[in-house]
Amino acid sequence: MALKITVIGTGYLGATHAAAMAELGFEVLGLDVVPEKIEKLAAGKAPMYEPGLEELLRRHVAGFEGTTGRLRFSTSYEEAGEFGDIHFICVNTPQKHGEYACDMSYVDAAVESLAPHLRRPALVVGKSTVPVGSAVRLAARLAELAPVGADAELAWNPEFLREGFAVQDTLHPDRIVVGVTSDRAEKLLREVYETPLAEGSPFVVTDFPTAELVKTAANSFLATKISFINAMAEVCEASDGDVVQLAEAIGHDDRIGKKFLRAGIGFGGGCLPKDIRAFMARAGELGADQALTFLREVDSINMRRRGHMVELARDAVGGSFLGKRVAVLGATFKPDSDDVRDSPALNVAGQIHLQGAQVTVFDPKGMDNARAHFPTLAYAPSALEAAQGAHAVLHLTEWAEFRELDPAALGKAVAERRILDGRNALDPERWREAGWSYRALGRPTA
């Protein structure tokens, strides 16, 4: 009989995972404690903007004509416990308020709410990003609370999806990592991932701590790579070098690689910043804090970028923002997402606003979230309207449509043809030819 799967938590990770599991052919029940989320998903609507997700939901959510009907949603742990052979925990692990450590309360609550309803053998699979050591603790808790006892088993299977590519990354992962303590758990997970495994995704079977660490190590490496190139951007600025050419040149070395070497206003989002901080906090608890002190530097280089962007913009408009209009293109932490969590773009926009400029923001998909997050900024329905009367235009999230903007048309709207590229993603020549002063982080001024 085909495996039945529940997915607990239907945010960025869980909604995508649930839809992807249905696409792979399983009967899926998605669970969330927030009824509005469940209602939205049950109506075939994605809880966030994620390319391809809504199509997948419409193909599988039960109750619509023409769907496979394999995907249902519920708020009931009891129903989930009865339904699933495998339960994926996909709840978030945000940074604790005022601390570096991550908040495990949602993961703990998910396990503690599900366990009492496990009356037959089940595999509970953690996907959330957690501090190393969590899985061992949760496995014990699960066995203690489940009526079925030790037959309610835990496995750890970190998720590496990127926002904007979540569907693709889930259906065609570049690796599948599972931390298991039994052959049975490994066998079940091989069954779940049969399709991607047949397509050649590598399958790494390991222990709990290694599985947990793979995720935090990978994100720490990516964050380090970005901060490395941003540190080089600082040196380039001090020496009239060009960080874009530098990145391209070092990237030709396969050992370094070209990806994640785009200098700019740095990383943000719901993962990299909080994951490196939680990793430092956990290392401290384990007495291994010295091993990760470099991540403190990675974090501070990253945060410095935002302040530096503000300074550049202030210099560009003559040393003070008072009485100046600034257009901000981009509010999300990266393109192809509507996520503004810890967004460098919105942070820069906010700082400039607080320093007295009249800031008008446009983002292709992130306007609602940005408004909710920062209601005191002004928002415009297009780049052109945001640019009206601007003394400087700041390009802060590299949406493809911003690369296609017509500098001549935008030039007619602004008060001063001055663009600052916070993502090194625009073509300087196009803008300069249209009479703009183009300035970017880590590149020579002219």
Which residue among 153, 163, 299, 363 contacts ligand UDX (CB under 6 A)?
A: 163
Q: How far is the CB of 219 from ligand UDX (least distance, A)?
A: 6
What is the total count of residues that contact ligand UDX (CB under 6 A)? 19
Q: How far is the CB of 247 from ligand UDX (least distance, A)?
A: 8
| 179 scored as a contact of ligand UDX (CB under 6 A) | no
Q: Which is nearer to ligand UDX, 257 or 389 (CB)?
A: 257
- Residues 387/413, Cβ–Cβ less than 8 Å: yes
Site residues for ligand UDX, 122-141, by CB under 6 A, read: none
Tokens of 413: 């709207």
Give the binding range for ligand UDX (CB under 6 A) out of 54-62, 159-167, 386-394, 407-415: 159-167
Q: Which residue has the tokens 């906090």?
A: 281
Q: How far is the CB of 309 from ligand UDX (least distance, A)?
A: 12
Q: Which is nearer to ligand UDX, 64 or 165 (CB)?
A: 165
| 11 scored as a contact of ligand UDX (CB under 6 A) | no
- Residues 342/273, Cβ–Cβ less than 8 Å: yes
Site residues for ligand UDX, 259-318, by CB under 6 A, read: 260-262, 264, 266-269, 271-272
- Residues 41/10, Cβ–Cβ less than 8 Å: yes
State how far the Cα of 247 lies from the Cα of 443, in Å rounded to an integer.
12
Site residues for ligand UDX, 203-262, by CB under 6 A, read: 219, 222, 226, 260-262
| 160 scored as a contact of ligand UDX (CB under 6 A) | yes
Active site residues: 271
Adjacent-strand bridge partners of 27: 4
State how far the Cα of 301 lies from the Cα of 211, in Å rounded to an integer.
28
Q: Which is nearer to ligand UDX, 261 or 377 (CB)?
A: 261
Q: How far is the CB of 23 from ligand UDX (least distance, A)?
A: 19
- Nearest CA to 165 among 339, 28, 331, 382? 339
Q: How far is the CB of 59 from ligand UDX (least distance, A)?
A: 24
Q: Which residues, other chains included, contact 128 with Cβ-Cβ below 8 Å and sequence gap of 6+? A: 9, 13, 89, 90, 91, 92, 93, 106, 107, 159
Burial of 444 (0-12, 13-18, 19+ CB in 10 A): middle
Q: Which is nearer to ligand UDX, 402 or 436 (CB)?
A: 402
- Nearest CA to 135 among 215, 231, 67, 194? 215
State how far the Cα of 245 lies from the Cα of 420, in Å rounded to an integer.
18
Footprint of ligand UDX on this chain (CB under 6 A)? 160-163, 219, 222, 226, 260-262, 264, 266-269, 271-272, 333-334
